[in-house]
A and B are shown apart, each in its own frame.
Chain A
Amino acid sequence: MMNKVLFKKPKNELETSSRFNRKTNPAIPQELCRSCPSCKNMSFRSDLEKNYHICSKCGYHFRINARQRLNMIYDIGSFIEHNQNLTSVNRLDFPGYTEKLEQATLFSHEKEGVITGVCKISGFDVCIFVMESSFMMGSMGQVVGEKITQLFEYATKHHLPVLGFTVSGGARMQEGMLALMQMAKTSGGVKRHSDAGNLYIAVLTDPTTGGVTASFAMEADIILSEPEALIAFAGPRVIEQTLRQRLPKGFQKSEFLFEKGFIDRIVPRNLHKETLSNLLTLHLAPKGGETHGSL
């Protein structure tokens, strides 16, 4: 009886928040500071923002949303968004899905789990997509698949490179098989873009799993990743439940995949723009040795 009282669920929100505050740090308001989930170091939000949301002490990469990421990458004022008003339809009448979409829209201030468009990076025209983890964990439904496929089709038509930042929990199960079909659809888009001789660079961020790993995330010409990002086909919990054994430390982190040869480079967030512009220059700058000039 006693236990029940002690461990009961809070009845109202106030009760939860007071508990929550006691557990973290009561003296420092959450709006000003964030504690690093890895080393518990407290940093001012303003400092974090200046440091690309990387913990100054241990180098932990905080999760950031798609707009923040976009702002770090493109040349100022050069981003033009595509298909920003596409929204999903609950075609299977999956219970609770319509409400979930509404909540996700309110929570993330985005209409779907990916932002696509064109921009300039160090002067090069690039098609870009950035997935949004706060919209249903970046899960891939019909709209995510459609926006990404349209982007690849646009890039193929205009001979532009594609740069993609992935973060996803996999296919969106509330859309059933229609979500799974997006894996094939996006792969078709990537294939055509690739066959036409265009460059596709993917940057895998924490976490990239399931149907996205098993489609366009792993189909890039060059695959980069943030440090310590979880990159998996089956998530660690699923594997633990299936095998009933603990997984080794660091399993499925980007360093592990790098060691196994599935990632070209692990690039910390503060070096993204530099690395990407170097890669773009190497692919897109006027090629030496092709003109008839003398040395």
Chain B
Amino acid sequence: MEAYKRVALARKKTRPTGLDYIENLFTNFIELHGDRCFGDDPAMITGLGFLLDMPVTIIAQERGKNTKSRVKRNFGSSHPEGYRKALRQMKLAEKFNRPIVCIIDTSGAFCGIGAEERGQGHAIAQNLMEMMALKVPIVSIIIGEGGSGGALALGVADEVWMLENAIYSVISPEGCASILWKDSSKTKEAANCLKLTAQDLLELEVVDKIISENHRDFKLVYKELKINLYKTFKKRKVLPKEELTQLRYERFRKFGAIEEKELID
């Protein structure tokens, strides 16, 4: 399938959002709010719940389902307080030895005056750094759009999974077309070039698993995710802490197709 079709599918308004996944994957879910510094970000939902019989920390980006909730959720674009809230919950997960599930669905971290004032870059950077050393298993699932740094701030995980029609990209195809070719009509070509589909990213080893959407039968998707998450956490929970973080470090350390050129004088 053409890359741009996937982009359209990933952004489709009727697609299940973070809240649907929370509802269908976990029981006893209780939402916990606030970053203890500035405020609470409705674009980022954090809380606790049971994955079958296993207590887990859940961090999910939520874009909203109708106009009203989309405005409330800021269309899924977090402010720095969202990322700080997520980090706070992850640290608690580490303290109480709970695995972490991150559900990624955002067009990107919010860019606006308030977000810059409160250190969007700093908040994301802290998450990348701290997640790398968390001593509990982390799985990140990209369910719709994975937009650049705003998605990666929840994406430093032991395993990163992607739904069949999700996308994960360094820049939106629109942004790429307008910056590189100064021509927003070239969005489709940009989508192809950026290699942002699940299949492309599996080949590049950016993601570890593609979750089939079974012709949009999401009941089956939830079931498959539940089983896979449980199995993965069970397997990783018994690893020594050093090995767990070492494996995570190596997972990201490997990216770099580099050749050494001889000096030509």
Interfacial residues, chain A to chain B (CB-CB below 8 A): 85-89, 91-92, 94-95, 111, 142-143, 145-146, 149, 171, 173-185, 187-188, 190-192, 194-195, 210-211, 213-219, 232-234, 238-239, 242-243, 247-248, 251-252, 260, 262
Contacts and interface: CB of A to CB of B under 8 A. Distances in A.
A179 B193 CA distance: 14
B206 interface: yes
Given A173-B170, A216-B125, A242-B112, A87 B256 contact: no
Nearest 7 CB-CB pairings of A with B: A234-B111, A213-B121, A233-B121, A187-B128, A214-B124, A218-B125, A233-B120
B49 interface: no
B210 interface: no
Contacts of B195: 92, 176-177
A212 B109 CA distance: 15
Interface in B226-265: 248-249, 252-253, 255-263
25 contacts: A85-B260, A85-B262, A92-B195, A142-B257, A174-B180, A177-B170, A177-B195, A177-B204, A178-B255, A180-B149, A184-B152, A185-B256, A188-B129, A188-B249, A188-B253, A211-B148, A213-B122, A214-B149, A215-B124, A216-B125, A217-B125, A219-B126, A219-B128, A232-B121, A260-B118
Given A184-B128, A214-B125, A178 B257 contact: yes
B170 A214 contact: no
Interface of B: 109, 111-113, 115-122, 124-126, 128-130, 132-133, 148-149, 152-153, 155-156, 168-171, 176, 179-180, 193-196, 201, 204, 206, 248-249, 252-253, 255-263
A180 B253 contact: no
Given A183-B149, A219-B125, 15 more contacts: A86-B258, A89-B258, A145-B255, A149-B253, A171-B148, A176-B195, A178-B256, A191-B129, A214-B121, A215-B124, A219-B126, A232-B116, A233-B115, A260-B117, A260-B118
B206 A177 contact: yes
Contacts of B171: 171, 173
A177 B111 contact: no
Given A176-B169, A177-B169, A218-B122, A184 B194 contact: no
B122 A262 contact: yes
Contacts of A171: 148-149, 170-171
Q: Is the interface of A mostly helix, strand, loop or mixed?
A: helix
A182 B253 CA distance: 8
B261 to A, nearest CB: 5
A233 B132 CA distance: 21
Contacts of B201: 177
A173 B249 contact: no
B129 A89 contact: no
A182 B255 contact: yes
B249 A192 contact: yes
A170 B91 CA distance: 28
B252 A184 contact: yes
A214 B113 contact: no
Which of B132, B152, B153, B258 has the most C-beta atoms of chain A within 10 angstroms of its own C-beta?
B258
Contacts of B126: 218-219
